[in-house]
Amino acid sequence: MTVSRRIVRRPAVVPTGEWPADWPDVLRRVHAARGSRDFAAAMPRLSGLLPYHDLKGIDAATTLLQAAIERDARILIVGDFDCDGATACAVGVRGLRLLGARNVLHAVPNRIAHGYGLTPGLVDELAALAPDLVVTVDHGIACHAGISAAKARGWQVLVTDHHLPGATLPPADAIVNPNQPGDGFASKALAGVGVIFYVLLALRARLGSRADLPSLLDLVAVGTVADMVPLDANNRALVGAGLRRLRTGQGCPGLHALIEVAGRKHATLTTADIGFAIGPRINAAGRLEDMAIGIECLLAEDAGQARELATTLNDINAQRRALQAQMQDHAETRLDALTGVHGACLFDPGWHPGVVGLIASKLKEKLHRPAIAFAPVEPEAAVLRGSARSIPGFHIRDALALVDARHPGLILRFGGHAMAAGLSLAREDFPIFRDAFDAVVRQTLAEELLTDVIHSDGALAPDELTFRAAVALCDGGHWGQGYPEPQFDDVFDVLDWRVLKDRHLKLELGLNGARFSAIAFNGWDGSAPSQRLHIAYRIAPDSWRGGEAIQLLVTYRESL
């Protein structure tokens, strides 16, 4: 399948307002192009956080928690098996203990054994813990049956979540979710870890406590970045504060151990390091093993125990990468079967259900189509678990809701966001779902969205292709979803090239008489590059060569 791609430059915006004197002009320009009128907007602080009292249900939530703390009730935090869910669980446990709760437990479903969220089966297993109050973090808004089962046992239930709700809300005692109907919170982009942090802020105010809740912001930052929610101003304030803690060595022992095993440096940690190194190591536990390992790492108080758990997570992540590579190679042999489709679905009986989300992401990137990858919930099972990923402008959860409306009972359960969702269905129904999903995408996806647009901040002047600019661009922003990392484009001469590790394309490029080192990771396609290339790239310090060397990281190239 041939995918249409093109580089589009963002409109030039002249930076106004007040900026640090030592910031290069290029850094000011890229922030201005993302809508930040001045330094305060570009790098928001905690003092500008949106108020917690705008969250619907926040008073009911804090009433439940205050009463539970005062009567020394048993509070059970139930997390989720991704990085957002794990950090949210750790924030909930640590935060409630800081606020005086003496009887706080935690649990997390196993992806294979329980499936997503608070299910009736998980409730049965949790009964041995005899909780008085269950607090869900990063899930719950779609867990009607599980919450009903918990209520039937006499437990109180507080849902804290950020996923989109269905037509009805679950029968919880209180719900805090910025995306529930009637919620007045100005930002709908909070991650699950952000929601529970806000609940704790409100509870601290209610209790008149002076608990050090900002000490939890390292966890909030990691969960927010890893979940790829839009980094609006509110989220950037949370992430920025968390990064500052990690860079100055104030984070929890588990995160510091993960930074070390990932080979990153505390002092220069970036959102990219979180997204590509820290988050995946936490996520790996939930994909292949049990997220309880990841949560224990984040709750560890002893540095030695934290290093041991971080090493285990690092080993699990290596296994995940090997399995993912095998599954991805298999998926790419079947791309021809997807020619002509608008919504891509693949299923393989040998795939692992914990890794299908990564396969769906790669399919989406390769085809620039909404994509869903399926695997049996366990070997030979009659139920499939699917993970969906979308392209900008197409709401994947709404698409699943439309399939569900047209084919009642076909999807056993589903939920998620605009860009990512999960679902389950009977194995025998996969062909019906595949065709139904493609039909919905074909009918609702605007044709222009099928062109992959690579957004660029324009060309860099020769005096801007410097080590100083590279450092400023890496460190001078909390880049991520909705506030993308700076990327530039220009036409270069190819002076030399070679292949590294059979996958990466190493280039020596010429521009205006100057020579630049560049690399396209996983960019080797078996054919020699042309002598002139139009390249989209990022600029970064070259840690391999050291000193003040820079390297261009090629994200897209087209021959001229």
CA 226, 231, 234, 237 torsion-angle sign: positive
Taking only the tens place, the pLDDT of each residue in 174-183 is 999 999 999 9
- pLDDT one-digit tens code per residue, 188-211: 999 999 999 999 999 999 999 999
Minimum mean pLDDT range among 20-34, 326-340, 542-556: 542-556
pLDDT on residue 438: 96
Output the six-digit token pair for 399.
């698409």
- pLDDT value of residue 509: 96
**In sequence order, what E strands does 63-205 have?**
75-78, 104-107, 133-137, 156-160, 174-176
Q: Is the pLDDT of residue 113 over 80?
A: no
**483: buried, middle or exposed (CB in 10 Å: 19+, 13-18, 0-12)?**
buried
- Six-digit token pair at 233? 């101003």
pLDDT, tens digit (0-9, with 9 covering 90-100), for 474-518: 989 999 999 999 999 999 999 999 999 888 999 999 998 999 999
**Residue count (the chain):** 560
The rounded distance, in Å, linking the Cα atoms of 234 and 482 is: 12
Distance CA 278, CA 297 (A): 12
Rounded to an integer, what distance in angstroms lies between the CA atom of residue 174 and that of residue 53? 15
CB-based contacts of 535: which residues, under 8 Å, 6+ apart? 489, 490, 491, 492, 509, 518, 552, 554, 556, 557
pLDDT of 1: 62
| CA atoms of 120 and 195, how far apart (whole Å) | 24
The 3 state secondary structure assigned to 247-293 is HCCCCCHHHHHHHHHCCCCHHHCCHHHHHHHHHHHHHHHHHHCCHHH
User: Are the beta carbons of 374 and 411 closer than 8 angstroms?
Assistant: no
Beta strands 452-456; 5-9: pairing state: parallel
Domain 5-36+453-559 classification at class level: mainly beta
Measured between alpha carbons, how far is 260 from 1 in angstroms, rounded to an integer? 41
* Class of the CATH domain delimited by 334-450: alpha beta
Rounded CA separation 414/229 (Å): 19
Average pLDDT of the segment spanning 92-110: 95
> pLDDT confidence of 289, banded at 50, 70, 90?
confident
pLDDT number for residue 286: 85
> pLDDT of 247-280, one tens digit each?
999 999 999 999 999 999 999 999 999 999 999 9
Helix axes 291-299, 303-332, angle to 10 degrees: 150
- The runs of H, that is alpha helices, within 278-426 are 279-288, 291-299, 303-332, 356-367, 396-406
| Structure letter (DSSP) for residue 379 | T
Which two three-digit tokens encode residue 5? 């791609």
State how far the alpha carbon of 441 is from the alpha carbons of 5, 298, 387, 421, in Å. 19, 40, 16, 15
For 237-264, b/e burial (b = at least 16 CB within 10 A) is bbbbbbbbbbbeeebbbbbbbbbbbbeb
Contact between 354 and 317 under an 8 Å Cβ cutoff? The reply is no
Tokens matching residue 289: 């093993």
* Residue 310 reports pLDDT greater than 80: yes
CA–CA separation, 412 and 402 (whole Å): 14
| pLDDT tier, 547 (very low <50, low <70, confident <90, very high otherwise) | confident
Contact (Cβ atoms closer than 8 angstroms) between residue 113 and residue 123: no
pLDDT greater than 90 at residue 16: no
| Residue 525: band (very low, low, confident or very high) from pLDDT cuts 50, 70, 90 | confident
Query: What percentage of residues in the chain have a pLDDT greater than 90?
Result: 85
Instruction: List the domain boundaries for the chain.
Output: 5-36+453-559, 53-316, 334-450
> Which residue, 87, 491, 168, 411, is CA-closest to 147?
168
**Which single residue is written with the structure tokens 């849902």?**
159
The DSSP output letter for 354 is: T
196 or 354, which is more confident: 196
Query: Mean of the per-residue pLDDT values for the chain?
Result: 94
> What pLDDT is stored for residue 48 in this prediction?
94
Residue 416 CA to residue 397 CA, distance in Å, equals: 6
CA distance 256 to 241: 16
pLDDT interval class at 12 (50, 70, 90): confident
The predicted-structure confidence for 60-86, as pLDDT tens digits, reads as follows: 999 999 999 999 999 999 998 899 999
Determine the pLDDT at residue 116.
81
Domain 53-316 -> CATH class: alpha beta
* CA neighbor of 79 nearest in space, from 141, 138, 156, 145: 138
